[in-house]
Amino acid sequence: MKSAMSKRKLKDTCGASAECISQVQKILRERFCHRPSATGKLFGIEFQYRHLLELLKRTTLHGESNSALIVGPRGSGKTTLLNHVLKDLREMKQVRGNLLEVHLNGLLQTSDKVALKEITRQLQLENVVGDKVFGSFAETLAFLLEALRKGDRTSSCPVLFVLDEFDLFVHHKNQTLLYNLFDISQSAQTPVTIIGLTCRQDILELLEKRVKSRFSHRQIYLMNSFDFKQYIKIFKEQLSLPAEFPDEPFAQKWNDNIQHLSEDKIVQDVLQNLFHHTKDLRSLYFLLMLAVSAVTVHHPLLTAADLQEASRQHSTDSKANIVHGLSVLEICLIIAMKHLNDVYDGEPFNFQMVYNEFQKFIQRKAHSMYNFEKPVVMKAFEHLLQLELVKPLERPSARAQREYLLMRLLLDNTQIMDALQVYPNCPTDVKQWAASSLSWL
Amino acid sequence: MNTRQQSKLIYSWYGKPMSSDRKLRTTQYKGIIITSESSRTETCIQLGDFILVEGVNADRPYVAQLLDLYEDGAQHKRAVVQWFCHIGEIPQNKRKLLKREISSQEVFFDQVLGYDTDIDAQTIIKSIMVIPLHPGEELPITLNKEQTFYVKQSWDGKCFKALSPDTFSKLKAKKKKGSTPDSSEPFIPSDILTPLKKETESVVQSATKPKNAESKHSVSKSSLAKERQSQRAVNDIKTPTARKKLELSSPTRSKGRLLGSEVLDLLDDDRDAIAPLESAATKRKVTFTSDILGSPPKIPCSNDKSKSVSDTAEPCQRFSDTIRLSPYPKAKDFSEKAKNLHVEDDIISLVGHQKPGTQSPVLTPRSRRTCAQRTSALIAQHISVLNQEDDLSSSDSSYSSSSEEEEEEEDVPCTPEKKTKSSRIFSTPKSSSKSSVHTPAKTPKKTPLPGTPKTPRNATPEIPRRSHAAQKPASVLEEARLRLHVSAVPESLPCREEEFQDIYNFVESKLIDGTGGCMYISGVPGTGKTATVHEVIRCLQQAAENDELPPFQLVEINGMKLTDPHQAYVQILELLTGQKVTATHAAVLLAKLFNTPGPKRKTTVLIVDELDLLWTRKQNVMYNLFDWPTQKHSKLIILAIANTMDLPERIMMNRVASRLGLTRMAFQPYTYKQLQHIISSRLKDVKAFEEDAIQLVSRKVAALSGDARRCLDICRRATEICEFAEPKRSPEIVGMAHVTEAIDEMFSSPYINAIRNASLHEQIFLKAILAEFRRAGVEEATVQQVYHQHMALCRIEGMQRPTVSEMMAICSRLGASRLLLLEASNKYLHMRVRLNLSQDDVMYALREE
Of B470, B560, B761, the CB nearest to A63: B470
Residues in chain B: 849
Residue B243's pLDDT is what? 41
Is A159 an 8 Å CB contact of chain B?
A: yes
A216 vs A65: CA distance, rounded Å = 10
A224 vs A75: CA distance, rounded Å = 9
Say whether B463 and A276 touch across the interface (CB within 8 A): no
Task: Render pLDDT for B154-167 as a digit per residue (tens, 0 to 9).
Answer: 777 667 777 777 77
CB < 8 Å to B720, chain A: 54
Is A260 an 8 Å CB contact of chain B?
A: no
Is B491 an 8 Å CB contact of chain A?
A: no
What CATH number is given for B750-846 in this structure?
1.10.10.10
Say whether B817 and A214 touch across the interface (CB within 8 A): no
Domain with CATH 3.40.50.300 in chain A: 45-221
CB < 8 Å to B584, chain A: none
Please give the residue that has the higher pLDDT: either B458 or A85. A85
Decide yes or no: CATH 3.20.20.70 for domain A45-221. Answer: no
CB < 8 Å to A148, chain B: 463
CB < 8 Å to B560, chain A: 174, 176, 179-180, 183, 210
Distant-in-sequence, close-in-space partners of B195: CB < 8 Å, separation ≥ 6: B274, B277, B278, B281
Closest CA in chain A for residue B723: A54
AA identity, residue A352: Q
In angstroms, the Cα distances linking B319 to B107, B316, B324, B390, B415 are 22, 5, 7, 12, 11
Say whether B468 and A189 touch across the interface (CB within 8 A): no
B517 vs B291: CA distance, rounded Å = 58
pLDDT exceeding 70 applies to what percent of chain A?
Answer: 90
- CATH architecture of the domain A320-435 equals Orthogonal Bundle (1.10)
H-type alpha helices, A152-280: 166-169, 176-185, 203-206, 209-214, 228-239, 248-263, 265-277
Say whether B463 and A142 touch across the interface (CB within 8 A): no
Task: Render pLDDT for A342-392 as a digit per residue (tens, 0 to 9).
Answer: 888 888 998 999 999 888 888 887 666 677 888 999 999 999 999 989 988
Chain B interface test: which of A43, A278, A311, A341 (most B C-beta within 10 Å)? A278
Chain A interface test: which of B437, B445, B466 (most A C-beta within 10 Å)? B466
B423 close to B337: Cβ distance less than 8 angstroms: no
Exposed / middle / buried, residue A94 (Cβ in 10 Å: 0-12, 13-18, 19+)? middle
Of B563, B724, B829, the CB nearest to A410: B829
In angstroms, the Cα distances linking B635 to B199, B504, B555, B801 are 47, 17, 13, 77
Closest CA in chain B for residue A122: B463
Residues 98-127 in A contacting B (C-alpha not used; CB under 8 Å): 98, 100, 112-113, 123, 125
Is B802 an 8 Å CB contact of chain A?
A: yes
A76 vs A224: CA distance, rounded Å = 6
Residue B775's pLDDT is what? 93
Please give the residue that has the higher pLDDT: either B637 or A394. B637
Residue B108's pLDDT is what? 78
- CATH architecture of the domain B9-175 equals Roll (2.30)
Distant-in-sequence, close-in-space partners of B281: CB < 8 Å, separation ≥ 6: B195, B198, B199, B202, B241
Is B475 an 8 Å CB contact of chain A?
A: no
Say whether B754 and A100 touch across the interface (CB within 8 A): no
pTM surpassing 0.80? no
pLDDT of A40 strictly over 50: yes
Closest CA in chain B for residue A68: B746
H-type alpha helices, A65-162: 78-91, 112-122, 137-150
Is B465 an 8 Å CB contact of chain A?
A: yes
Q: Is the dihedral of CA B639, B644, B646, B650 positive or negative?
A: negative
DSSP letters along B450-464, please? TT-----TTPPP-PP
B367 vs B217: CA distance, rounded Å = 12
Is A186 an 8 Å CB contact of chain B?
A: yes
Helix then strand count (H, E) for chain B reads 31, 21
Say whether A391 and B787 touch across the interface (CB within 8 A): no
B552 vs B509: CA distance, rounded Å = 13
CB < 8 Å to A76, chain B: none
CA torsion angle B344 B347 B348 B353 (round to 10): 160
For the segment A79-105, the average pLDDT, to the nearest whole number, is 87
Closest-CA distance of chain B to residue A336, Å: 19
B183 vs A3: CA distance, rounded Å = 123
Sheet hosting strand B820-822, strand order edge to edge? B781-782, B832-835, B820-822
Residues facing B150 on adjacent strands: B106, B131
Say whether A277 and B761 touch across the interface (CB within 8 A): yes
Closest-CA distance of chain A to residue B522, Å: 13
Is B602 an 8 Å CB contact of chain A?
A: no
Closest-CA distance of chain B to residue A133, Å: 9
Closest-CA distance of chain B to residue A86, Å: 18
Say whether B487 and A186 touch across the interface (CB within 8 A): yes
Greatest Cα pair distance in chain A: 92
Closest-CA distance of chain B to residue A261, Å: 22
pLDDT of A151 strictly over 70: yes
Per mean pLDDT, which range of A20-34, A113-127, B414-428, B673-687 is the poorest? B414-428
Residues facing A163 on adjacent strands: A104, A196
AA identity, residue B432: S
Contacts 24+ apart (CB under 8 A), B772-776: B773/B835, B773/B839
B319 vs B316: CA distance, rounded Å = 5
B716 vs B492: CA distance, rounded Å = 20
Is B707 an 8 Å CB contact of chain A?
A: yes
Residue B59's pLDDT is what? 66
Say whether A141 and B759 touch across the interface (CB within 8 A): no
Residue B28's pLDDT is what? 79
CB < 8 Å to B488, chain A: 188
Of A199, A346, A414, the CB nearest to B817: A199
Closest-CA distance of chain A to residue B799, Å: 9
B457 vs B455: CA distance, rounded Å = 6
Closest-CA distance of chain A to residue B583, Å: 11
Exposed / middle / buried, residue B343 (Cβ in 10 Å: 0-12, 13-18, 19+)? buried
Phi-psi region of B678 (alpha: psi -120 to 50; beta: other; left: phi over 0): alpha
Residue ranges in chain B whose pLDDT is less than 50:
1-6, 176-372, 389-458
What CATH number is given for B497-666 in this structure?
3.40.50.300
Of B460, B750, B810, the CB nearest to A201: B750
Contacts 24+ apart (CB under 8 A), A433-441: A433/A332, A433/A335, A433/A361, A433/A365, A434/A335, A434/A338, A437/A339, A437/A342, A439/A339, A439/A360, A439/A361, A440/A360
Chain B interface test: which of A55, A61, A62 (most B C-beta within 10 Å)? A62
Say whether B760 and A276 touch across the interface (CB within 8 A): yes
Neighbours of B803 (CB within 10 A): 20
Say whether A187 and B759 touch across the interface (CB within 8 A): no
Neighbours of A90 (CB within 10 A): 14
DSSP letters along B29-78, please? ESEEEEEETTTTEEEEEETT-EEEE--SSTTS-EEEEEEEEEE-TTS-EE
Of A132, A213, A315, the CB nearest to B526: A213
**Residue B641: φ, ψ to 5°:** -120, 135
Residue A15's pLDDT is what? 53
A318 vs B803: CA distance, rounded Å = 9
Say whether A98 and B466 touch across the interface (CB within 8 A): yes
Residue B86's pLDDT is what? 75
Task: Render pLDDT for A409-429 as a digit per residue (tens, 0 to 9).
Answer: 988 888 888 888 888 888 888
Closest-CA distance of chain B to residue A50, Å: 10
Residue B477's pLDDT is what? 84
Please give the residue that has the higher pLDDT: either A149 or B232. A149
Mean pLDDT over the full length of chain A: 85
Residue A187's pLDDT is what? 86
| Collapsed DSSP state (helix, strand, coil) of residue B147 | coil
A284 vs A234: CA distance, rounded Å = 9
Is A218 an 8 Å CB contact of chain B?
A: yes
In angstroms, the Cα distances linking B71 to B20, B63, B79, B126 are 9, 22, 8, 19
Closest-CA distance of chain A to residue B507, Å: 25
Is B461 an 8 Å CB contact of chain A?
A: yes
Domain with CATH 1.10.10.2450 in chain A: 320-435
pLDDT of A106 strictly over 90: yes
Closest-CA distance of chain A to residue B465, Å: 5
Residues 183-202 in B contacting A (C-alpha not used; CB under 8 Å): none
Exposed / middle / buried, residue B731 (Cβ in 10 Å: 0-12, 13-18, 19+)? exposed
